[in-house]
Structure 1
Amino acid sequence: MATSAQRRQEIGAGVWDDVLRALYGPSEEVLARQRDRWCQALAQFECYFGPGRQVELYTAPGRAELGGNHTDHQHGYGLAAAVDLDLVAVASPNTDRYIRVKSWGFNKLDVIDLSQQDPRSEESTHSASLIRGLAEGFRGLGRPVGGYDAYTVSSVLRGSGLSSSAAFEMAMGAVMNGMYGCGLTPAQVARLGQYAENIYFGKPSGLLDQLTSALGGVVFADFQDPESPRVEKIHTRELLPAGMSLCVTDTRGSHSELTAEFAAIRREMEAVAACFDCQVLGQVDEAAFWAQLSRVRACCGDRACLRAVHFFEENARTLAEHRALRAGRFEEFLRLVRQSGHASFTLCQNVYSSADPRRQSLSVALALSQHILEDSGGAWRMQGGGFAGTIQAFVPANCLERYCAAMDSVFGPGSCHILTLREQGAGLAIG
């Protein structure tokens, strides 16, 4: 390890440009921006934790969900891609058994006393709970857990559906795994991130977000056995054909306060599963569901039934999307993406919150996308948990300038992002 000042000088001088190019692509403009970003993170670490500390730099990507909206937590299929929007963590070990993390954009310093192992009510739904949960996950596997000080800076849009929480979890998990030589695989660290989010943070998330951030690339996962999911990494070069861009638009409506809405989707799906003496919909025979629809409606209500239909359709669609990508049938993949977006409206009903129907930023963004892209061969869908946040669109080159300008005009300058897919998962970038 080198000191923060030494690393800052090296990055500024271009010593680590190959590392940055691998993460963010060959653009000289992007490279200059990332050099400055990483140097600023090192300088801020010094401000909060003092100069002269030996440091390591870790990074974890955000992700774009390509298919499998609300299927992973029901033991179905998932499809997602790591993207170049990421979290960077500057970290240094300490000996006092405390973890201290300061994140750019947040006023609070997270301080975790590692002698206190159980979930703490005052940390619920806050980042400190994720750190504590990860530490206890490592400890539960018999791995060493030690203190560290860290400063993080993230370009993953918070509360947007690009999974800023998974990027944070996987960055903190990578620090613990790498700094103390724990030797866990990326998939194992992803499991601990889900555990921290479910048990300590209090959000009943699935595992796809953490797996994608941990592994990088395009990830297809089969969660039939959630304890040992079957995971396939598809290299990013196999996804986007020439002349097609993946865009996400931040509609500036955060979903960070909508945990109850997300939880209701899982709760209602599992209520339907319980009608068949099952825990999740992935264990339910679809034909039996349709045969007993009247009974299920009486027991669970109509919305729960529609969300169950969404699961069955979306799960089959995600498998078809995976096969289309592997076979190079990109037009078929785009057709399935459009179907997925429609199902979010009509079946899963997670495009806007029913408690506040005046706010429908995702609906507006999807309608505008359809208006621009419908005859172009592109595709558009909501992504992530839903209710607010971002939409994604596959945009042909001849529409790209018009599409980005239209989105920025409605949702604010800089709201539309052209993403680069990222091959590298979470881990140590500069040791």
Structure 2
Amino acid sequence: MATSAQVRDEILAGKWDETLGALYGGGAAELRRQRARYAAALEQFELYFGPGRQVRLYSAPGRTELGGNHTDHQHGYGLAAAVTLDLIAVASPSDDGFIRVKSRGFNKLDVIDLSEPEPQQGESTHSASLIRGIAEGFRALGKETGGFDAYTASDVLRGSGLSSSAAFEMGMAVVLNGEYGCGLSGPEMAKICQYAENTYFGKPCGLLDQLTSAVGGVIFANFADPCAPEIEKIHAAGLLPEGVTLCVTDTQASHSELTGEFAAIRREMEAVAACLGQNVLGQVLETAFWQALPRLRTQCGDRAVLRAIHYYQENARALAQKNALQRGDFAEFLHLIRANGHSSFEYCQNVYCASDPRHQGLSIALALSQSILEAGGGAWRMQGGGFAGTIQAFVPAPLLEAYCAAIEGVFGPGSCYRLKLREQGAVQIGSEM
């Protein structure tokens, strides 16, 4: 291990360029940006935790959903890709039994006393609850852990649908895993992070976001057995054909305060399953659902029924998307992207909040995208939990500049991000990786 100052000097001298290039792409401008970003994080670590500390660096990517919108928590399929927007952490172990984390952009220091493993009053929905839950998840597996001090800096847009929460969770998990030599695999850490978000943070999320951040590349997952999901990694290299750019638009409205709206989707889908004698829709044959439609409308309400229809159709599309990618049929993949976007709008109804119809940023972004891309062979969809946040578009090269200009004309400069996919999941990084 080296001190924070030594690592910073190495990075600024270009000694880590090969590692940074593997994570973010090797363009000169991007390497300059990442050198400065890491150097700033190391300086901030020293500011909060003192100079002369030996440190390690960690990275956990955000993710973009490609298919399977709100299907994973019903034991269905999911398709997602890791992106080069990530959370980085500078970390050093401590021997006092406390975890202290300072995150860029937040005016607080999370301090977690590891002698208090249970959820703490008033801590739910805050980052400290995630850290505490992750530490307890390691202990529950019999892993010896301890305290650490860390400074984090995230490029993953908060509340945007790129899963800043999963990147933060996986960042904390990979720090514990690396600092204390726990030897857990990416999927094992992802399950711990889901447990922390469900039990300590209080959000009933599925597992796809954490898995994608943990494993990297493009992930197709079958959650029929959520305790042991079947995971298939599709390598990101060459996935997007030449001349197509994956863009994500931040509609400037965070979905981070919409936990209740997300929870209602899962609750309503599971109410339909319960009427058919099962816990989740993945355990209910689709034919049985359609046969019971009149009764389900009466007992569960029409929105719950429509969200169940979305589940069955979206689940089939996620599998079809994976098959299209593997056989190189990108035109069919884009056709399916457009179809699952319409399903989220019409059936899952998670593009805007019915309680706040004056604000429909996602709807506007989708309509604008359609007006520009429809004739040119592009595709567009909402991504993530919904109600606010981001949309996704696959933009052909001849339309790229016009598309970005139109989007930023409505949502502001810098709102349209041109994403790159990332092969690596959450990792401890160094001069050799």
The normalised TM-score by structure 1 is 0.99
Residue 375 of structure 2: SS of its match in structure 1? coil
Structure 2 residue aligned with 1:128: 128
The whole-number CA distance in structure 1 between the counterparts of 2:180 and 2:113 is 17
Q: Does 1:188 align with 2:188?
A: yes
Shift of 1:121: 2.5
The whole-number CA distance in structure 1 between the counterparts of 2:402 and 2:35 is 30
1:194-233 maps to which residues of 2 (within 5 A)?
A: 194-233=194-233
Structure 1 residue aligned with 2:287: 287
Shift of 1:17: 0.4
Q: Does 1:258 align with 2:258?
A: yes
The whole-number CA distance in structure 2 between the counterparts of 1:325 and 1:60 is 25
The whole-number CA distance in structure 2 between the counterparts of 1:210 and 1:121 is 25
Structure 1 residue aligned with 2:43: 43
Conserved? CA contact 1:270–1:281, under 8 Å: yes
The whole-number CA distance in structure 1 between the counterparts of 2:217 and 2:238 is 10
The whole-number CA distance in structure 2 between the counterparts of 1:103 and 1:158 is 12
Structure 1 residue aligned with 2:164: 164
The whole-number CA distance in structure 1 between the counterparts of 2:366 and 2:340 is 12
Residue 375 of structure 1: SS of its match in structure 2? helix
Conserved? CA contact 1:238–1:326, under 8 Å: no
Q: Structure 1: any 5+ residue segments left out of the alignment?
A: none
1:76-87 maps to which residues of 2 (within 5 A)?
A: 76-87=76-87
Structure 2 residue aligned with 1:305: 305
The whole-number CA distance in structure 2 between the counterparts of 1:385 and 1:260 is 11
Amino acid at match of 2:214: A
Structure 2 residue aligned with 1:139: 139
The whole-number CA distance in structure 2 between the counterparts of 1:28 and 1:344 is 39
The whole-number CA distance in structure 2 between the counterparts of 1:203 and 1:64 is 19
Shift of 1:238: 4.0
Amino acid at match of 1:415: S
Conserved? CA contact 1:250–1:391, under 8 Å: yes
Where does structure 1 differ by over 4 angstroms across 4 or more consecutive aligned residues? none
Amino acid at match of 1:319: L
Residue 246 of structure 1: SS of its match in structure 2? strand
Q: Which digits, 9 at most, give the CA deviation of each residue in 1:370-407, with x for residues without a partner?
A: 00000111000000000000000000000000011111
Residue 231 of structure 1: SS of its match in structure 2? strand
Shift of 1:340: 0.4
Residue 407 of structure 2: SS of its match in structure 1? helix
The whole-number CA distance in structure 2 between the counterparts of 1:327 and 1:146 is 46
The whole-number CA distance in structure 2 between the counterparts of 1:127 and 1:150 is 13
The whole-number CA distance in structure 2 between the counterparts of 1:121 and 1:207 is 25
Structure 2 residue aligned with 1:410: 410
Residue 18 of structure 1: SS of its match in structure 2? helix
Q: Does 1:103 align with 2:93?
A: no
Conserved? CA contact 1:238–1:325, under 8 Å: no
Structure 1 residue aligned with 2:59: 59
Amino acid at match of 2:108: K
Amino acid at match of 1:92: S
1:342-357 maps to which residues of 2 (within 5 A)?
A: 342-357=342-357
The size of the alignment, in residue pairs, is 431
The whole-number CA distance in structure 1 between the counterparts of 2:91 and 2:38 is 13
The whole-number CA distance in structure 1 between the counterparts of 2:238 and 2:232 is 13
The whole-number CA distance in structure 1 between the counterparts of 2:425 and 2:200 is 24
The whole-number CA distance in structure 1 between the counterparts of 2:237 and 2:30 is 20
Residue 219 of structure 1: SS of its match in structure 2? strand
Shift of 1:277: 1.0
